[in-house]
Structure 1
Amino acid sequence: MKFRNKVDVSAPIDVVFMEVSDFPAIEKRAAKRGYDVQRLDVLREPGPGMVWDVSFEFRNNMREMEVELVELNAPDKMCVVSRSSSFAGSMIVDFLALSRTQTRVSLELELKAQNLTARLMLQSIKLMRSNLMNKLEGRMKGWARQIENSYRMSDVS
């Protein structure tokens, strides 16, 4: 099952890429949302091979997955894969400079079931697809506005 969306951000591509690849900030935001995030690798610089163990509650059950950064090509592309006992997934984020101050961010999420229970869960997710797409679009727009506001504030000072 694939989800695709894109958003235009009124900030330079380098600024947008830097925000998206700020992994310590992402870990903090995930923790605020109730996720338990543990970094497993020992890399000193962000790059392929970064790995996290992520635990969270979903449908009244604790879920665990391993998330790995497999590609980080500044400022053009980032790819993350995730694995759990039930699902395998990938997230590809592409960045395109539309102008010096405008960037298009394209996101593609793919989720694959690893067992029968997960296939049934994916079927129920497919029934909610339009609702989930609306939520994804809203989150991406909100995230874009945050980057734009942060960029404007840093540009003023």
Structure 2
Amino acid sequence: MKLSTREDIEAPLSYVYGRISDFAAFERRALRQGIAVSRRSDAAPAVGTVWDISFDFRGRARKVEAALAKLEPDHALQIASQSDGLTADTQVELIALSATRTRVMVSFELKAKTLTARLLLQSLKLAKTKLTKRFKARVLDYAEMVEDDYRRGQ
């Protein structure tokens, strides 16, 4: 199952890239939401950096391993994740539309590796319209936050 969206942000490409590649900020945000996140190395994030993520979902403890698969400065990043028979691939691409406007394209693909995961994925596909709407709303909220922060910082 694949979800994708794009948003235009009134901020320069370098600023937007700096925000989407600020992994420490994402770690803090997840911790505030009750998600345990730990990076396996103390070095600055680079291709191969791995995070262990654990959280409760539908009454069960879940564990996810997320690895930074691609990191192209001022252009793109990709995170590959795996958990209990599911694999996920998240890609973020940036395009400079002008000196002060950036297009962000985000895609998320979920694949099942086990029968149990296939059943879960099938139930998610039934709610794909709702999930797509929520996914687009989250990306839009983040884009607006980045844009607002840029305006305040000028």
Letter in structure 2 aligned against 1:60: G
| 2:105 equivalent in structure 1 | 106
Other structure's SS at 1:30 match: helix
| 1:62 equivalent in structure 2 | 61
| 2:25 equivalent in structure 1 | 25
Say whether 1:139 aligns with 2:138.
Answer: yes
Say whether 1:116 aligns with 2:78.
Answer: no
Asked if the contact 1:35/1:56 (under 8 Å) is kept, the reply is yes
The number of residues matched between the two structures is: 154
CA drift of 1:46 comes to: 2.5
Whole-Å Cα distance in 1 between the matches of residues 57 and 88 of structure 2?
A: 16
CA drift of 1:85 comes to: 2.3
CA drift of 1:83 comes to: 1.1
Identity %: 38
| 1:148 equivalent in structure 2 | 147
Other structure's SS at 2:130 match: helix
Q: Structure 2 matches for 1:71-86, cutoff 5 A?
A: 71-86=70-85
Root-mean-square deviation (CA, aligned residues, Å) is: 0.9
Other structure's SS at 1:152 match: helix
Asked if the contact 2:89/2:108 (under 8 Å) is kept, the reply is yes
| 1:34 equivalent in structure 2 | 34
Structure 2, unpaired ranges of 5+: none
| 1:8 equivalent in structure 2 | 8
Asked if the contact 2:84/2:117 (under 8 Å) is kept, the reply is no
Other structure's SS at 2:84 match: coil
Structure 1, unpaired ranges of 5+: none
| 1:90 equivalent in structure 2 | 89
> TM-score if structure 1 supplies the norm length?
0.95
CA drift of 1:10 comes to: 0.7
CA drift of 1:122 comes to: 0.4
CA drift of 1:57 comes to: 1.1
- Structure 1 residue ranges, 4+ long, deviating more than 2 angstroms after superposition: none
Letter in structure 2 aligned against 1:47: A
